[in-house]
Every structure is written in C-alpha cells, then in structure tokens.
Amino acid sequence: MKAVLSLEAVTIRLGGRTVLEDVTLDISPGEIVALLGPSGAGKSTLLRVILGLERPAAGRVLIAGALATDGPNLVCAPAERGVSMVFQDLALWPHLDVAGHLRFVLESRRVPRDQHGPRIEGLLERLALSDKARRLPGTLSGGERQRVAIARALVSTPVLLLLDEPLANVDVALKQDMLVLFRELLRERNTPALYVTHDPREAARLASRAVVLEGGVLVQQGSWDVLRAAPATAFVERLASELDSRF
C-alpha cells in the first residue's frame, strides 16, 4: 500500500544549528500518527517541511507517492500538496463568517463552484454548526471555534491533515469532547493525520502509533505497547509512564 506521506532522511539546518537530522517516516492511508517531543525538538519545523514552508538541506518529501520536496528544491508548491492544517491558536479570520472560512479554502484550492454548497452545508451539519454559518469567530464559544477550525481543514478533502497542538489551550472537558470528535471525523473520512502534542494521554486517545522527536532526531516510533515495553530513551520512558495516569 502506497504511503500517503513519506519523509526520507530529512535534515534541516538553521543558523548553523541542526534542527532535524535524517528524519524518516511513513504514514499509511487512514492512519493517525502522534508526534511527540519536548519543546524545541523540531515538531513544528517538521510540519513546515511537510507543508512546503521550510526547505530541508537534504532529504525528500513524497505525498501520495509523488515527489514534493527534493533537498532544498520545492517540486510541488505548498498550495498544490493537498495538505491541510489545524493550528494551535486556530488562526481563524475575524472578518469572515463560518461559511466564509470554508468557502475561502474551496476557492483557493480551485474546487468547482457547484461543489461548494454541498460540501459546506454537509460539513457544517455534521459538526452541528449549521445555525452558526453566518456568525463571526468572535461571537462563538471555544468549542464552536475548534469545530470551525476542523471544518475548514477538512472541507477540501485533504490528502493529509496536520494538527499542531490544537487542544493545548482548552480545558479538560472540552479536550475530551474534541478528541472524540477528531477521531470520529478522521475515521469517517478515512483521512490520515499527524497529530502534534506534548501529552501522551491525549495522543493515545487519538492515534494508534507514536513518533518521538528529541533534539531533531527521531528516537523511537511504534505502538503505545512498544513505547511502554522498550522505551528507547529516558524521555520516552517518562512519556510511557504518563499513559496510564488520569486525563
């Protein structure tokens, strides 16, 4: 089965410092993978490489089997990669209403106009946002804004979804609800995802496999059982010890 995302020995150097070194990773169709690591490990930089916003010194990025980045050369522009992202601060546009957020994405991805209405209406209905279509983000609750961000990311039917700590700033109750929603939506649509977080408990509720970065190096990847049974570093051991603690 062809991987949706393949990273081949990706290396990034910034200001004389190696931020990522020989990172190799595959994500299969429909797979949800968690990316964990301490602050400064290179997690957000890795997402920028996948999006095409950061050019590696060496290595390749393939999306759906097609070469997207070859060393410092961008073979495929960011807008043409079919990759969507949900940001930690959600990055909603204050001047656009809920439906406008989705319409903007569809227009920028050049989705035929006759598909806009059905896609927007169907997704807003699924996310219980139909009655909020004309509302601006500033008038919505925290949970509603979270749902707008995920709707905006999914409306274009992305090849791959990236989530960069989207629940870092929400309370525990909302976090639990949103993790259930993320899992249901991704499975319904068979959308592969890379989910960045500091919290292994959060990651384990969503992803079947974990990838751990430390100092820009991919130190371990595998199932949660593998991380528990044979942690590769002291940091991975600490992560594994948190898995069974209360959320």
Please give the single-letter amino acid code of residue 141: S
pLDDT tens track for 93-104: 999 999 999 999
- Burial degree of 41 (CB within 10 A; 0-12, 13-18, 19+): buried
The closest of 22, 21, 19, 38 to 234, measured between CA atoms, is 38
| Phi, then psi, of 147 in degrees rounded to 5 | -70, -35
C-beta neighbour count of 157 within 10 angstroms: 13
Distance CA 58, CA 198 (A): 27
Distance CA 178, CA 82 (A): 24
Helix %, strand %, coil % for the chain, to 5? 40, 25, 35
pLDDT tens track for 26-40: 999 999 999 999 988
Q: Residues in the chain with pLDDT < 50?
A: none
The closest of 165, 162, 167 to 145, measured between CA atoms, is 167
Q: In what helix (H) or strand (E) does residue 163 lie, and over which residues does it extend? A: strand 160-164
Distance CA 167, CA 154 (A): 17
Q: In what helix (H) or strand (E) does residue 203 lie, and over which residues does it extend? A: helix 200-204
Contact 123, 155 (CB under 8 A): yes
Q: What is the CATH code of the structural domain delimited by 1-82+161-247?
A: 3.40.50.300
Please indicate, yes or no, whether the overall pTM of this predicted structure exceeds 0.85: yes
The pLDDT score that the predictor gives to residue 245 is 66
Domain locations in the chain as residue ranges = 1-82+161-247, 93-157
The pLDDT score that the predictor gives to residue 246 is 58
Tokens matching residue 70? 């070859």
The pLDDT score that the predictor gives to residue 186 is 93
Q: What is the CA radius of gyration of the chain?
A: 18
Sign of CA dihedral 237, 243, 244, 247: positive
